[in-house]
């Protein structure tokens, strides 16, 4: 255990120890007071209770220790097994330096133009072609072409459909819808619709994964749960809950099943991307993608959304809803 880890462990343990001492002192304060009164009765024969400075000492100690436990600024309780239960508005503080979670940042390698009217919901590469799905009722679309160039193929989704994540699986392109409960199978070359299948709940992100000789689709719905689906029938085959230090990581949005075996997910509505172990659901890294847009660009843009591994490289292409630019980035130590 290095010095940094030891300091973190001590900082976490100290409030719990202080609370335990305070409770122990409080529990035995009445015994001490009875002993003091009994001693006075024996010495001067007076049986009336007396208030003295020494009689109030245990209570003062209790309050002092309790205040000391609360001073660090985070309300901490000793839970079962010594776990820390923190009072926080989010279940996981995504910027925290947690045990086993690497802190990375998105380092820009190249910048490409992006349609500022595109409410980006999904990005995926196949060869040199970049596929992009966009949302909003009446404005949803699917497009494909060279990244940074005008699309060469384009398909609209008519109202009331709200386009969401996409992925490619063999000769199929799957496109989700948000609250319509409909997945659309398309031809990857022409983007023509082939059929529609239904699913329960919301559709957010989608990616295609190869694991140990088998293939599956991974789907998010904005919660901490990722669903697995058959790439041919789209039927659900299982699910996994995403956790950091045993706590749910919610807001999972656009997904990328990368060649390195991990699942990368935008966390809505933050500028954070998490790297997920598909076997355990454990978050192994946070990627900070803040500061990519200028202040003036940021004014008209919405959340970071859209991540695609660039074929043949260790780079990723990322963008956001109504962003005027896309960024080729590498994930490096923060």
pLDDT tens digit sequence for 23-41: 443 444 444 343 333 433 3
Beta strands in 61-205 (DSSP E): 76-78, 84-86, 102-113, 120-126, 129-134, 141-145, 153-156, 163-169, 172-177, 182-186, 193-198
Q: Which residue has the higher pLDDT, 255 or 20?
A: 255
Statement: residue 59 has pLDDT above 50: no
Statement: residue 11 has pLDDT above 60: no
Give the C-alpha separation, 33 to 102, whole Å. Answer: 53
Give the C-alpha separation, 242 to 262, whole Å. Answer: 13
Give the C-alpha separation, 101 to 136, whole Å. Answer: 34
Give the pLDDT score at 26.
42
Q: What share of the chain is helix, strand, coil (3-state, %, to 5)?
A: 20, 40, 40
CA 44 to chain centre: 69
The radius of gyration of the chain's CA atoms, rounded to the nearest angstrom, is 28
User: How wide is the angle at C-alpha 246 spanned by C-alphas 241 and 249, nearest 5°?
Assistant: 50
For helices 57-70 and 3-44, the axis angle rounded to 10 degrees is: 170
Tokens 């384009």 belong to 154
**Is the link from the previous residue into 269 a cis peptide, with omega within 30 of 0?**
yes
What is the DSSP pairing of strand 76-78 with strand 102-113? Answer: unpaired
Q: Which of 71-75, 94-98, 150-154, 213-217 has the lowest mean pLDDT?
A: 71-75
Statement: residue 133 has pLDDT above 50: yes
- Confidence class for position 94, pLDDT limits 50, 70, 90: low
Give the C-alpha separation, 86 to 19, whole Å. Answer: 15
Give the C-alpha separation, 77 to 83, whole Å. Answer: 8
By the 8 A CB rule, do 165 and 205 touch? yes
By the 8 A CB rule, do 315 and 260 touch? no
Statement: residue 188 has pLDDT above 50: yes
Beta strands in 178-271 (DSSP E): 182-186, 193-198, 206-211, 214-220, 225-229, 236-241, 243-244, 247-248, 252-257, 263-267
Classified as helix, coil or strand, 161 is: coil
Report the chain's terminal Cα–Cα distance, integer Å: 21
Statement: residue 89 has pLDDT above 60: no
Nearest to 66 by CA among 25, 8, 29: 25
Order of strands, sheet of 120-126, starting from the edge strand that comes earlier in the sequence:
120-126, 129-134, 141-145, 153-156
Classified as helix, coil or strand, 81 is: helix
Largest CA distance in the chain: 103
pTM: 0.73
| Residues forming beta bridges with residue 163, ordered by sequence position | 177
Give the pLDDT score at 194.
98
């Amino acid at each position: 255990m290095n010095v940094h880890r030891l300091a973190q462990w001590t900082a976490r343990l100290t409030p719990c120890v202080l609370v335990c001492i305070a409770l122990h002192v409080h529990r035995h304060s009445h015994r001490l007071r009875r002993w003091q009164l009994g001693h006075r009765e024996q010495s001067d024969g007076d049986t009336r209770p007396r208030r003295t400075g020494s009689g109030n000492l245990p209570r003062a100690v209790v309050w002092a220790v309790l205040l000391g436990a609360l001073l660090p600024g985070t309300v901490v309780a000793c839970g079962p097994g010594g776990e820390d239960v923190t009072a926080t508005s989010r279940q996981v503080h995504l910027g925290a330096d947690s045990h086993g979670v690497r802190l990375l940042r998105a380092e820009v390698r190249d910048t490409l133009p992006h349609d500022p009217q595109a409410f980006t919901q999904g990005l995926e590469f196949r060869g040199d072609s970049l596929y992009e799905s966009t949302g909003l009722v009446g404005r949803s679309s699917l497009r494909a072409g060279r990244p940074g160039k005008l699309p060469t193929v384009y398909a609209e989704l008519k109202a009331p459909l709200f386009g969401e994540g996409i992925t490619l699986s063999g000769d199929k392109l799957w496109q989700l819808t948000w609250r319509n409960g409909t997945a659309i199978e398309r031809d990857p070359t022409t983007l023509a619709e082939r059929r529609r299948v239904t699913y329960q709940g919301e559709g957010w992100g989608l990616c295609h994964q190869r694991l140990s000789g088998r293939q599956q689709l991974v789907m998010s719905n904005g919660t901490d749960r990722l669903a697995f689906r058959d790439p041919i029938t789209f039927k659900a085959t299982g699910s996994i809950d995403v956790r950091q230090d045993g706590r749910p990581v919610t807001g999972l949005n656009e997904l990328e099943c990368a060649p390195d075996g991990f699942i990368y997910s935008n966390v809505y509505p933050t500028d954070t991307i998490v790297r997920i172990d598909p076997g355990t659901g454990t978050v192994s890294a946070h990627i900070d993608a803040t500061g990519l847009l200028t202040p003036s660009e940021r004014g008209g843009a919405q959340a970071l959304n859209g991540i695609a591994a660039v074929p043949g490289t260790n780079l990723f292409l990322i963008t956001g809803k109504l962003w005027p630019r896309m960024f080729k980035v590498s994930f490096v130590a923060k």
